[in-house]
Structure 1
Amino acid sequence: MELGIGMFGDVAFDQKTGKYRDAGVKIREIIGQVKLMDEVGIDVFAMGEHHRADYAVSSPEMLLAAAASVTKNIKLASGVTVLSSSEPVKVYEDFSTLDLISDGRAEIFVGRGSFIESFPLYGYSLNDYEQLFDEKLELLLKINSEENVSWSGKLRAPMQNQTVYPRAKNSGKLPIWRAVGGTPQSVLSAAQLGMPLIVAIIGGMPVQFKNLIEFYKQEYLKAGHPESEMQIAIHSHTFVSEDQNVIDGYFDTYKSQMDRIGKSRGWAPFSKMQYEGGRSKDGALFIGNANQVADKISYMKEIFGITRFIGHMDVGDPADDVMRKSIELFGNEIAQQVK
């Protein structure tokens, strides 16, 4: 099983100044942290895409290209590319270029995203939310498998025997994962297309997703795809420290980001009871010491049969030194225990 770390590039809000932390500082910290991940043997790094003041990264491929220059082995993925509001040709070109820079380490996680800011920003209508994604995914997969592309849809100009360059290292093909939040129709589509699946589990109890993942396995095999190529991952909020005071203190950092997001979605303020419940064996928060987090990841392997776990590690923008310690523990302690 592969172990990875994901980030959204959260930037903390300073109540005294009324400003978010400097995005440039945050981005440079992330690049240094990915270098550390590579050094401690973490398998995958996934960088999210957002178009908001409280996140530093709107272009994952740019940050991943910078990270490629300071790493040797770690796979570099978007987590996720908001495909509905992206141009599939450009997505493939950017990631195939990243693939060549990194000598074959690029991957794409495609999804609808958890925010909608990119739609008006790039001139797309939310009325076309479903159709945009379906059409663009179809085109991206076609570009990924064919050098000369002919395609037509309703929301984009057709392509007639057009070539897309440069081609990725592995016969032009990039690993493209389908990232979902729990919608059965999205899971069904991924299974029928034979796409690797990554499920975001950030609340409640992970075991509640067991039927959904079993549904994916069933439909994947029914569609005739080889079981040996099936890949399933989960992506959950993660933070590691051997100091219980640090774990207790992280509640405030975590709460600040969850409440900021929740305010616009009508959520109740995040509570300490939710935090501790999420940290329990059956909860969705992988927050604790190395033994606790390793045990929970192993438990996920037992109940889901996952082939990859991505720990989302920068919720609320923890300090750089605290993040680095969490990364070291994840690579040096947790990975060894799980594997």
Structure 2
Amino acid sequence: MELGISTFVETIPNVVTGEVISHAQRIREVVEEIVLADQVGLDIFGVGEHHRKDYAASSPAVVLAAAASQTKRIRLTSAVTVLSSADPVRVFQDFSTLDAISNGRAEIMAGRGSFIESFPLFGYDLQDYDELFEEKLELLLKIRDSEKVIWNGKHRPAINNLGVYPRPVQDPLPVWIGSGGNSESVVRAGLLGLPLVLAIIGGSPVQFAPLVELYKKAVAHAGHDLSKLAVASHSHGFIAEDTELAADKFFPSTQQAMNVLGKERGWGQYTRASFDAARSFEGALYVGDPKTVADKIIHLRKNVGITRFMLHVPVGTMPHDDVMRAIELLGKEVAPIVRKEIARWEAEKQ
């Protein structure tokens, strides 16, 4: 069971002071968070790609590279790379370079993205949303699997037997599929034999169990080795020494961030009642003291089949010290509980 952190490097105004942290400061803070995550023994850190004012990381590979030389073991991934509006050649080159700097710890999490700002920014038509992703994923995998590439598509100039460099330390460079829970994307990942990341940020996580089974069936149908694949979750949460303290610290920025998005997308108001319901044992928020969060992660593994858990923190803008403490608690207190129980459970099943 792998445990780690994901972040969108948000710069939403502070809900208490109204202060807006600069993009530069927030990026530097995230590098510090990655270094700490490595020091406390976490397995993975993911940085999301966005192209709007209230998110600072438009180039996850650069942010991750800044931390790569200061870390030793932690794996470094995008969360996600918006592949539909990116050039797969450049994506591969960036993460292959990151792989070199980190000595084989880079991963790509490819997705279509739930934000659309990158499409007009890079000159793509949203009507081609699905087609762009399928075509560019095909090219990315060709580049990954072969030094010289012959490829022809609709949305990018053809490549005629050209090499793409540098080549990564890892062979092959890991490429994951990020999904919001769409059955089509889950099946695509399974048929391609790629590991899957589910954004479990609402409802009951147990409701995702059928999607994991669907993924496994697609893997088996295509003849891939399921034992070599993984299923991850990306879930909002926060850890403090006391559960109510964790909830009181995490709610204000979460409410603000959810209501900003809700206004854009036509959602209802995010309230304390909806927050408290989501942090119940069956809910999708992993908020509480270390034992509470560990028990929920264990429940997710046993009932959904998740083999990598990524705690998404912060949501909105929180004090950097609070985020650092949550990372420390995840690595030093939550992780040992989870790993011990999952090891015991796996041994009993054999």
Name the TM-score, length of structure 2 as normaliser.
Answer: 0.94
Q: Write out per-residue CA displacement over residues 209-234 of structure 1, whole angstroms, 9 at most, x where no aligned residue.
A: 11111111111111100121121111
- The answer to which of 51-60 and 14-23 deviates more is 14-23
Q: Write out per-residue CA displacement over residues 188-211 of structure 1, whole angstroms, 9 at most, x where no aligned residue.
A: 111100000000010111111111
User: 1:84-233 residue pairs with structure 2 within 5 A?
Assistant: 84-171=84-171, 173-233=172-232
- Aligned equivalent of 2:285: 285
Distance 1:80 1:167 in 2: 21
In structure 1, give the amino acid aligned to 2:338. Answer: V
- Aligned equivalent of 1:21: 21
- Aligned equivalent of 2:43: 43
Per the TM alignment, residue 14 of structure 1 is displaced from its structure 2 partner at its CA by: 4.8
Per the TM alignment, residue 93 of structure 1 is displaced from its structure 2 partner at its CA by: 0.3
| Preserved contact between residue 246 and residue 287 of structure 2 (Cα < 8 Å) | no
In structure 1, give the amino acid aligned to 2:123. Answer: G
Per the TM alignment, residue 249 of structure 1 is displaced from its structure 2 partner at its CA by: 3.2
- Aligned equivalent of 2:345: none
Distance 2:224 2:27 in 1: 39
Distance 1:294 1:90 in 2: 38
Distance 2:320 2:307 in 1: 29
Distance 1:156 1:132 in 2: 10
Q: CA 1:128 to 1:36, structure 2 compared with 1: closer, same or farther past 3 Å? A: same
**2:255 paired with 1:255:** yes
- Aligned equivalent of 2:9: 9
Q: CA 1:301 to 1:18, structure 2 compared with 1: closer, same or farther past 3 Å? A: closer
Structure 1 unmatched ranges of 5 or more: none
Matched positions, count: 338
Distance 1:24 1:215 in 2: 42
- Aligned equivalent of 2:234: 235
**2:305 paired with 1:326:** no
SS of the aligned residue for 2:265 comes to coil
Distance 1:248 1:14 in 2: 15
| Preserved contact between residue 99 and residue 170 of structure 2 (Cα < 8 Å) | no
| Preserved contact between residue 96 and residue 167 of structure 1 (Cα < 8 Å) | yes
In structure 2, give the amino acid aligned to 1:233. Answer: A
Distance 1:214 1:12 in 2: 37
| Preserved contact between residue 68 and residue 101 of structure 2 (Cα < 8 Å) | yes
Per the TM alignment, residue 19 of structure 1 is displaced from its structure 2 partner at its CA by: 6.3
| Preserved contact between residue 20 and residue 54 of structure 1 (Cα < 8 Å) | no
Per the TM alignment, residue 18 of structure 1 is displaced from its structure 2 partner at its CA by: 6.7
User: 1:269-308 residue pairs with structure 2 within 5 A?
Assistant: 269-308=269-308
Q: Write out per-residue CA displacement over residues 132-153 of structure 1, whole angstroms, 9 at most, x where no aligned residue.
A: 1000000000000000100111
Per the TM alignment, residue 127 of structure 1 is displaced from its structure 2 partner at its CA by: 1.2
Q: CA 1:71 to 1:15, structure 2 compared with 1: closer, same or farther past 3 Å? A: closer
- Aligned equivalent of 1:312: 312
Distance 1:35 1:22 in 2: 20
Name the TM-score, length of structure 1 as normaliser.
Answer: 0.97
Distance 2:15 2:77 in 1: 33
| Preserved contact between residue 84 and residue 132 of structure 1 (Cα < 8 Å) | yes
SS of the aligned residue for 1:93 comes to helix
In structure 2, give the amino acid aligned to 1:230. Answer: L
In structure 1, give the amino acid aligned to 2:121. Answer: L
Per the TM alignment, residue 15 of structure 1 is displaced from its structure 2 partner at its CA by: 7.2
Per the TM alignment, residue 115 of structure 1 is displaced from its structure 2 partner at its CA by: 0.2
Distance 1:245 1:154 in 2: 53
| Preserved contact between residue 78 and residue 108 of structure 1 (Cα < 8 Å) | yes
Structure 2 unmatched ranges of 5 or more: 340-350
Q: CA 1:329 to 1:255, structure 2 compared with 1: closer, same or farther past 3 Å? A: same
Distance 1:3 1:112 in 2: 24
